[in-house]
Amino acid sequence: MTGEREQDPTTPFYDAPTGGWGSLKSVLRHATQDRIRLGTLETLRRQNKPGGHMCTSCAWAKPPSPHLAEFCENGAKATLWDLTRDRCTPDFFARHTLAELRDWPDHDLEAVGRLTHPMRYDAGSDRYVEATWPEAFAAIGASLKAMDPKKAVFYASGRASLETSYLYALFARLYGHNNLPDSSNMCHETTSVALKRTIGAPVGTCVLEDFEHCDLMLFFGQNTGSNSPRFLHPIQQAVKRGCRIVTFNPIRERGLVEFMNPQSPTEMLSGRGTPISDIYLQLRPGGDIAAIAGICKHLFDHGALDRDFIDRHCHDFDAFETWVRAQSWAGIEAASGLSQGDLAEVAGLFAASKRVIGVYGMGLTQHVHGGDSVGMLVNLLLMGGHIGRPGTGICPVRGHSNVQGQRTVGISEKPELVPLDRLAQMFDFDPPRDTGMTTVEVVQGVIDGTVKGFVSLGGNFARAIPDLDRAEPAWARLDLNVQIATKLNRSHLLVGGSAWLLPCLVRAERDQQKTGPQAVSMEDSLSHIHGSMGRRSPASRHLLSEPAIVAGIAKATLPPNPRVRWDHWIADYGRIRDLIEETYPDQFDGFNERLFKAGGFYRGNSARRRDWKTETGRAEFTVPPSLSALGSEPGEGAFTLVTLRSNDQFNTTVYGYRDRLRGLEGDRMIVLIGRADMARAGVAEGQRVSLVSAVEDGITRRVEGLTVVPYDLPAGCVAAYYPEANPLVPLAHHDIASKTPAYKGAPVRIEAQ
């Protein structure tokens, strides 16, 4: 199966390159639809540039010498979505009960516009009513004081800045818990656990220059064109200088097939882009462990390994070799859905390459054996000594724009990852030492009634989680629900008792505090820290910044402590950066001075220096428990469901209904399925069907009203959109070590309606 493979002509497919005119048209359409002011284009020009604001979309690196417009279709959409003129005002809430709003689609809720006032839930009228900030802080503080801190959860979606995140995590610990799950718990927590265990660093080892020197990039389950389009620029340059690309993905995602650079007049005028993948292998979902085992088996058979590196730096290699050699080709082919010949071709390229980078995303992390899949990719790279040399490395592509950074500065349910002793000394308190709750545990706690309070720093938790229908009725039973947000979403509507909706500034807006306008900072996927300065007028004069909201709640909750100076810190965020530097001196040395360094400043990575901070002090080879990452096969008559994002959404934020890069338009309530499987399931194109969970645990999980769309997918697999398909993912179905939900491998049956 190679890059020239023909598409079934009757299945929808986007056959133009990623980028190009399609992406420009899409941005312009949003610019007009979202009723944007003229200054917005100026704001976009400053996006991702030193002195400007950092994009709120994905976490891809911001280069030191940016393009004229260093943003992509998605980044532009995210900014336009934030800077709309539409407003979600107290008047709007007076007109609609929450029961009524719960029937609205995700897109329509956010499309009402920016939240303008702090709002309190009034159970009597089932409406949000206008409140003041002092009232909100006092009431929330009183509820938290009355609650057992261990029953409260402080969730964070990955957008809030390093400054906000540091204060938020400090607040949780001063209050008395480590219940600090993050959107990362649904995303790359697999990475944080698996990379820490194998190479001793919880994040990727690559920096931008590595992409200028590698000979081969292997892509596993990362949809670059849709989800981190700015990454296509370094990929395209690498391809042009002869770097080879191999992609493993059940779906032929456009961005990894061909890319047209919107910044290149020649490509735009000729209509011809750059072919990206040399080899594109449509493996079965969860087939990555087997695919990599096949490549390794070839390498062993041909003696193509870096023995010197393995002897000097690695541990447990023999066990790994024994396991690989014991795997049969029949087993590898069945679990991966790929042929021995295809995998031999990749092994040949790998053996011939001096510098290899392994890139991955949710296709690896969101499986029952996701951690083992990541471990397998590490194994492969270690076999060739491809970690800790220029032009090599492992590159998890992170999601939210500061999700990696939030973990760096203390938002973590794992106390062992946080310098608690230093915090204890700096703020003169006794931090809680017990492990906090992950996302999965929080959802279970909400269902069981053991979680009483939920504070959400951004995000749309109730919509992003697995088994969301099971959890939905339970949210109304919380004693306290606090949502810090920019736009209305479903999580704000699932409330019962005391609930607050607190509107904040977006990153492109001016954040004025006592000492003047403030900058904030974030960490990108390649561990570089960037300052970000918003300049736009706020959407409403009632908005507060995220740091000010966190400080407001904390001050109303905690007893006075002369070392904890919320007002002093909020007056000048430089003081919060000083605290971050004091807490993490190795990584944030000279933080304030380096804030606006072009390209960001690098906080370093031990594994990149081949300093392995693992239990044995060496890089660990690991043996996976099985060849498939699925945990169990879907069973007779069932399919493996993969949940997908379109390029017209950012997680639960649905901008529109055009999945342009997959040639799918107009409807998100669809199920994609191969033609042979349509016959097997007895369904026809355009037919309305339901998907039903095939997990036998006594719980009914069902999504109705999906239209069948034939699509080029491997046998035994169907695909549907996230979050519409989330009720089908069982909560107990998650990566074993990290508890990241297995959103890419839920067993389902198809039922005709």
Q: Tell me which residues touch ligand MGD (CB under 6 A).
A: 56, 58, 74, 110, 157, 159, 183, 186-187, 220-223, 226-228, 248-251, 253, 283, 285-286, 288, 361-363, 366, 397, 399-400, 457-461, 464, 484-487, 489, 504, 506, 546, 642-643, 645, 647, 649-653, 722-723, 725-726, 729, 743-744
Select from 112, 172, 180, 187 the one that contacts Mo ion (CB under 5 A).
Answer: 187
- Residues whose CB falls within 8 Å of the CB of residue 438, separated by 6 or more in sequence, listed in order: 181, 185, 189, 413, 738, 739
Q: Which is nearer to Mo ion, 464 or 681 (CB)?
A: 464
Q: Which does 222 bind (CB under 5 to 8 A by kind): ligand MGD, Mo ion, none?
A: ligand MGD
Q: Which is nearer to Mo ion, 439 or 583 (CB)?
A: 439
Nearest partner of 161 among 505, 463, 416, 500, judged by Cα: 505
Q: Which DSSP helix (H) or strand (E) runs through 679?
A: helix 675-681
Q: Which does 628 bind (CB under 5 to 8 A by kind): ligand MGD, Mo ion, none?
A: none
Shortest distance in whole angstroms from residue 60 CB to Mo ion: 13
Contact (Cβ atoms closer than 8 angstroms) between residue 76 and residue 33: no
Q: Which is nearer to ligand MGD, 482 or 529 (CB)?
A: 482
- Nearest-angstrom CA–CA distance, 101 and 99: 6
Shortest distance in whole angstroms from residue 431 CB to ligand MGD: 25
Q: Which is nearer to Mo ion, 187 or 455 (CB)?
A: 187
Q: Which is nearer to Mo ion, 176 or 202 (CB)?
A: 202
Determine if 405 is a binding residue for Mo ion (CB under 5 A): no
Shortest distance in whole angstroms from residue 365 CB to ligand MGD: 8
- Nearest-angstrom CA–CA distance, 602 and 620: 25
How many other C-beta atoms can be found within 10 angstroms of the C-beta atom of residue 415? 17
Determine if 58 is a binding residue for Mo ion (CB under 5 A): no
Which neighbouring-strand residues pair with 60? none
Contact (Cβ atoms closer than 8 angstroms) between residue 467 and residue 474: no
Identify each DSSP E strand in 170-291 by its residue range: 216-220, 244-248, 258-260, 274-275, 279-281
Shortest distance in whole angstroms from residue 109 CB to ligand MGD: 8
- Residues whose CB falls within 8 Å of the CB of residue 651, separated by 6 or more in sequence, listed in order: 183, 399, 460, 464, 645, 722, 723
Shortest distance in whole angstroms from residue 468 CB to ligand MGD: 9
- Nearest-angstrom CA–CA distance, 287 and 332: 9
Shortest distance in whole angstroms from residue 243 CB to Mo ion: 27
Q: Which DSSP helix (H) or strand (E) runs through 351?
A: helix 340-352
Contact (Cβ atoms closer than 8 angstroms) between residue 667 and residue 721: no
Contact (Cβ atoms closer than 8 angstroms) between residue 566 and residue 514: no
Q: Which is nearer to ligand MGD, 228 or 431 (CB)?
A: 228
Select from 52, 286, 371, 399 the one that contacts Mo ion (CB under 5 A).
Answer: 399
Which neighbouring-strand residues pair with 128? 121
Strands 639-644 and 619-620 turn out to be unpaired
Shortest distance in whole angstroms from residue 114 CB to ligand MGD: 10
Q: Which does 393 bind (CB under 5 to 8 A by kind): ligand MGD, Mo ion, none?
A: none
Per CB under 5 A, which region of 49-57, 187-195, 338-346, 685-693 contacts Mo ion? Answer: 187-195
Shortest distance in whole angstroms from residue 687 CB to Mo ion: 32
Q: Which does 459 bind (CB under 5 to 8 A by kind): Mo ion, ligand MGD, none?
A: ligand MGD
In the complex, which residue's CB is closest to ligand MGD?
361
Shortest distance in whole angstroms from residue 438 CB to ligand MGD: 13
Contact (Cβ atoms closer than 8 angstroms) between residue 553 and residue 482: yes
Q: Following DSSP, what letter does each residue of 191-207 receive, concatenated?
A: HHHHHHHHHS-SS----
Q: Which is nearer to ligand MGD, 345 or 546 (CB)?
A: 546
The residues that touch Mo ion, with contacts defined as CB under 5 A, are 187, 399
